[in-house]
Amino acid sequence: MPRASIIIPAYNASAMLHRSLGSSLGQTVSDVEVIVINDCSTDDTLDIAREYASNDSRVIVLSNEENSGPMVSRSRGVEVAKGDYIFFLDADDSLVENAVEVVLRQSVKKHWDIVHFDMTVENVGLAPDADVKATLDFARPYNGQLFGQEVIRACFEKHQYGWNLANKAFCLSVCKKANEFIPEKRMLRGEDGLVYFILAYFAESYIGLPGERLYHYFYGSGEDGKSQITLDEFRHMCSSSDIAFEMRRFLESQGEMDGLGACYEEASMTLASHAARQYRLRVPEKDRANAFEIMKEAWGSLFTAIGFSRQFWNAPEKFARDLQSAPTFRASSRPVKTIGTYYHHYLGGGTEKVQQFLIKLWRQMGLRVVLFVDNMPDPDQVDIASEADEFYLLPQAVRCTSGDYKRRAQLLEKAARECDIDLLVYHYYDSQTLMWDMTIMKCLGISTLVYYHNSFSYLEKFGRPQFAEIADVYALADGVITLSAVDSMWWQGWGSRVFETVSPFVYDGATEGLAPVHEKNILCLGRVAPDKHTDKVIEIFEAVKRRIPDATLTVVGGSGDKKYVEYIDEKIRKSPYSESIERVNWTEDPSAYFSSARVFLMASDIEGYPLALLESLASGVPAVMYDLPYLTLVREARGRGLVTVPFDECNRAAYEVERFLVDDDYYLQMRAGALESTAPFLNYDFPAFWNEILASLANPGGHAAHREFDTETHRIMQSVFFDTYKRDLAYKRSRIAALEKDSSKKKKMEASPSWRVGRMVTWAPRKAKRVLKKLLKKK
């Protein structure tokens, strides 16, 4: 009986078969059998194999009746194999001369079902270096021993080693057992994964031999080495989805889906990600829209989104640009009966209030509503399960990474299917998962609207790279809901169809006709945050207080930015007028504060839709603010209850506040103007707006009304863009200057004699501390 069987599937391998056969027959252990399976080759492969067999009795030649692929060919080889261990060798590769000897030496010490050795990769094609490195990484053995189910889990669930067959040797009995479950059909791509999945399931032991490079892989002599591929070749690569299907079917036949389902899921995601990687590296740009459709058809919504997310997580705009013509991302045309709505929180701010209002509105319109959130609200504040027809808690978008998007994707897709969602309204407009969440929805034929609750320049202001990404991503959505003419023009210019609206006015106190206020109280109500510049509100108040001794300030609002809140509280405590400043945390009912305010003061340098400002004006409380000319509310109310001043001009803001405090006629005139200018916002017909959207989505090729070019709006849009850019640049330069100053101080300090003496004196204690840390870590 031979000590080892080397199985070589061969199809049109005449040019390279000498390499694999020569290395097999030249092993230092001569007691081997070499089984060549000719897979209906049309060249001289069969003749070459037979010639070797006629000269060496160790060579066995089999021929398939029809072209069946490597998996079926290997399976036929296993059927006749008799060696203690089986090696699977590709016809264009080779084994080093002592490969069998090294494996058998391991089996003398202890029987191993699987012996995994290292390989050498030779790039003989035009494959990118990154591909060669990835191949080596995937082939690298696990450095240790595995037993029982850890053999399959370590590979497929934990990714501790790869599933390729080439650089492994297998116990004959395990191969024979696994062979009973390997399907007898041609698999185009990834068949190694399926075969090893079944082998690893039945294996009881595994040993890895890192550094033992016993296999020589000639990378690039086949399809994998091409720098560009056709759509047919990409379709071939995507057929690895058949492998995932067979893995699942195998586990189901063994009753192991509950116990080992994670192995199937992780393997599927790896295969899908590999196909997406070929898309990224090798599919020409002109073919990518069609290639996406091929991927979706093969892999379905879930694994398509996960696969592409792993390849384009940090560059979603590049992914989006290639898909503008993809049929999947064309406007959906399904009637809307069920709406999904998503924001990461449910309570706490303006966006949350808008979503709550819309949920009630949609349900009143006879629509089912499915609510998605990332964070559970306090159950003492709201019973979230009763807020909508269905409720789902998603893994937090902000915590997702390219390798950890699976759980969120699975839950989102499951909910979309189970609830039969027709439209998803996405309020988390700058979420890093937007592209991938939307990909799932669009693959399922579900319309997606992005609700942009801010100014288009918001992300630019904070220098976030998403500002350069989201325009391309938004263009794939069925529409963008905007809150101003300026934002509508911006997004429409990037190819998005827009639906312009106003934010719902949900504060009831304003409709009660609050009486004029005679006390000189200034109100600042809203989130306490750096972009709201609450510190500047205090400085403006101090300027007012110096001239109007009986003026008071009430600051109402909370924040997730604890450091900034602490800074504001400390600033109030240190103010010479601290006794005239009242500090209140956030309240859901601000009516008491509006009813006692003479003027509303706002210092934001950017806003999407300032609900607090609308609440103030609608309550008859005039306002002073830094100018935000792109806001529709500002354009409507300026001079009619609202006064604006250039950003950061505290003295001018203080002057305008003083006018409201001391001039009763002016105050009453502006108070009346405030009530008048806000009437259109309070009487806005939200059902009509949403019926327009739903009709547009249900109509194939439907579009929102195209906004005519308006010179003034365009001028404001350009000004906002460049002003924001200039402000962000100035901020970055000031930070760089401060860091350089700190660095210069540090260098001077380190160059001083006293610092050097101090370092010498403390050298021994610092060294002892490092040693102690290492000792404690080992324990």
For the cut 60, the answer to whether the pLDDT of residue 93 exceeds it is yes
Q: Is residue 153, in this structure, part of any structural domain at all?
A: yes
- 738 and 651 assigned to the same domain: no
| Nearest residue to 609 via CA among 582, 636, 585 | 636
For the cut 80, the answer to whether the pLDDT of residue 492 exceeds it is yes
- 166 and 118 assigned to the same domain: yes
Distance, in Å, from the CA atom of 618 to the CA atom of 36, rounded to the nearest integer, reads 85
Q: Are 223 and 188 in contact (CB under 8 A)?
A: no
Q: What is the token pair recorded at 36?
A: 């060549």
Q: Which domain holds residue 514?
A: 509-682
Mean pLDDT confidence for 649-661: 96
**What is the tens place of the pLDDT at every residue in 569-628?**
999 999 999 999 999 987 777 888 999 999 999 999 888 888 889 989 999 999 999 999
What pLDDT does 765 receive?
79
Sign of CA dihedral 673, 677, 678, 683: positive
Comparing 6 with 219, the larger pLDDT belongs to: 6
- 463 and 586 assigned to the same domain: no
Distance, in Å, from the CA atom of 263 to the CA atom of 139, rounded to the nearest integer, reads 18
User: Is 757 exposed, middle or buried, given 0-12, 13-18 or 19+ CB atoms closer than 10 A?
Assistant: exposed
For the cut 70, the answer to whether the pLDDT of residue 239 exceeds it is yes
- 105 and 35 assigned to the same domain: yes
What pLDDT does 226 receive?
61
Which pLDDT band, with edges at 50, 70 and 90, does 768 fall under?
confident
- 451 and 557 assigned to the same domain: no
Half-sphere exposure of 492 toward its Cβ, with a 13 Å CA cutoff?
Answer: 23
Comparing 202 with 461, the larger pLDDT belongs to: 202
Which pLDDT band, with edges at 50, 70 and 90, does 506 fall under?
low
For the cut 70, the answer to whether the pLDDT of residue 470 exceeds it is yes
- 521 and 496 assigned to the same domain: no
**What is the tens place of the pLDDT at every residue in 260-316?**
999 999 999 999 999 999 999 999 999 999 999 999 999 999 999 999 999 999 999
Phi, psi (degrees; rounded to nearest 5) at 15: -75, -20
Q: Is residue 523, in this structure, part of any structural domain at all?
A: yes
For the cut 80, the answer to whether the pLDDT of residue 505 exceeds it is no
Which pLDDT band, with edges at 50, 70 and 90, does 104 fall under?
very high
Which pLDDT band, with edges at 50, 70 and 90, does 91 fall under?
very high
What pLDDT does 757 receive?
76
Between the CA of residue 474 and those of 122, 215, 336, 491, what are the distances in Å? Answer: 43, 48, 20, 8
How many other CB atoms sit within 10 Å of the CB of residue 22?
A: 12
- 188 and 85 assigned to the same domain: yes
DSSP 495: T
For the cut 80, the answer to whether the pLDDT of residue 200 exceeds it is yes
Q: Which residue, 459, 475, 500, sits at the end of a domain?
A: 500
3-state secondary structure 81-133: CCCCEEEECCCCCEECCCHHHHHHHHHHHCCCCEEEEEEEEEECCCCCHHHHH
Q: Is residue 407, in this structure, part of any structural domain at all?
A: yes
CATH number at residue 36: 3.90.550.10
- 481 and 431 assigned to the same domain: yes
Q: Is residue 597, in this structure, part of any structural domain at all?
A: yes
Sorted by sequence, the CB contacts under 8 Å of residue 253 that are 6+ apart come out as: 181
Q: Are 368 and 481 in contact (CB under 8 A)?
A: no
Q: Is residue 102, in this structure, part of any structural domain at all?
A: yes
- 484 and 523 assigned to the same domain: no
What pLDDT does 706 receive?
56
Q: Is residue 312, in this structure, part of any structural domain at all?
A: no
What pLDDT does 320 receive?
96
CATH number at residue 374: 3.40.50.2000
What pLDDT does 559 receive?
74
Q: Which residue, 467, 500, 533, sits at the end of a domain?
A: 500
pLDDT > 70 fraction of the chain, expressed in percent and rounded: 96
What pLDDT does 511 receive?
46
Q: Which residue, 474, 500, 526, sits at the end of a domain?
A: 500
Q: Is residue 779, in this structure, part of any structural domain at all?
A: yes
What pLDDT does 701 receive?
53
Number of domains composing the chain: 4
Q: Is residue 591, in this structure, part of any structural domain at all?
A: yes
| Nearest residue to 633 via CA among 648, 653, 652, 616 | 616
- 773 and 654 assigned to the same domain: no
Mean pLDDT confidence for 222-232: 74
Highest averaged pLDDT of the listed ranges 158-167, 343-352, 608-617: 158-167
> At 450, is the secondary structure helix, strand, or coil?
strand
**What is the tens place of the pLDDT at every residue in 558-569?**
876 889 999 999
Distance, in Å, from the CA atom of 776 to the CA atom of 180, rounded to the nearest integer, reads 52
What pLDDT does 39 receive?
94
- Rg of the chain on CA atoms, in Å: 34
| Per-chain mean pLDDT for the chain | 91
What pLDDT does 755 receive?
74
List the alpha helices (DSSP H) in 475-581. 485-493, 534-547, 562-574
**What is the tens place of the pLDDT at every residue in 370-380?**
999 999 988 88
- 474 and 516 assigned to the same domain: no
- 489 and 533 assigned to the same domain: no
